[in-house]
């Protein structure tokens, strides 16, 4: 098992790079046998994070999931409002 903090740090790095430092925050927890990264943002920023047709959040999920696969772990990314 790997520390879930690395998935949180990766997600936060992506969010900060793409949307700016105050747009959203990421928090990671372990639930059962998987890591869950929750992205929280103000309602006006949710649309930016999800992107047109869900493309942006899909790309973020793909990158974080790939990092989990390197460690043979399942990682899920969820989005919610503050």
**Residue pLDDT, tens place only, 42-58:** 999 999 999 999 999 99
What count of other Cβ atoms lies within 10 Å of the Cβ of residue 55?
10
- What's the CATH number where 58 sits? 3.30.300.20
* Among 30, 22, 24, residue whose Cα is nearest residue 68: 30
d(CA 32, CA 20) in angstroms, rounded, equals 32
Domain hosting 62: range is 5-81
Which pLDDT belongs to residue 2? 67
Q: What is the model's pTM? A: 0.91
Reported as a pLDDT band with limits 50, 70 and 90, residue 22 is confident
**How many independent structural domains does the chain possess?**
1
Q: Mean pLDDT, to the nearest integer, of 31-44?
A: 94
Query: What are the C-alpha distances in Å from 18 to residues 1, 22, 25, 71?
Result: 29, 11, 13, 25
Which pLDDT belongs to residue 67? 95
pLDDT over threshold 80, residue 1: no
């Amino acid at each position: 098992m790997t520390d879930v903090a690395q998935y949180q740090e990766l997600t936060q790095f992506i969010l900060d790079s793409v949307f700016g430092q105050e747009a959203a925050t990421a928090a990671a927890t372990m639930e059962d046998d998987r890591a869950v990264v929750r992205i929280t943002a103000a309602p006006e920023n949710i649309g930016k994070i999800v992107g047109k047709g869900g493309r942006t959040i899909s790309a973020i999920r793909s990158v974080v999931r790939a990092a989990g696969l390197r460690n043979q772990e399942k990682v899920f990314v969820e989005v919610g409002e503050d």
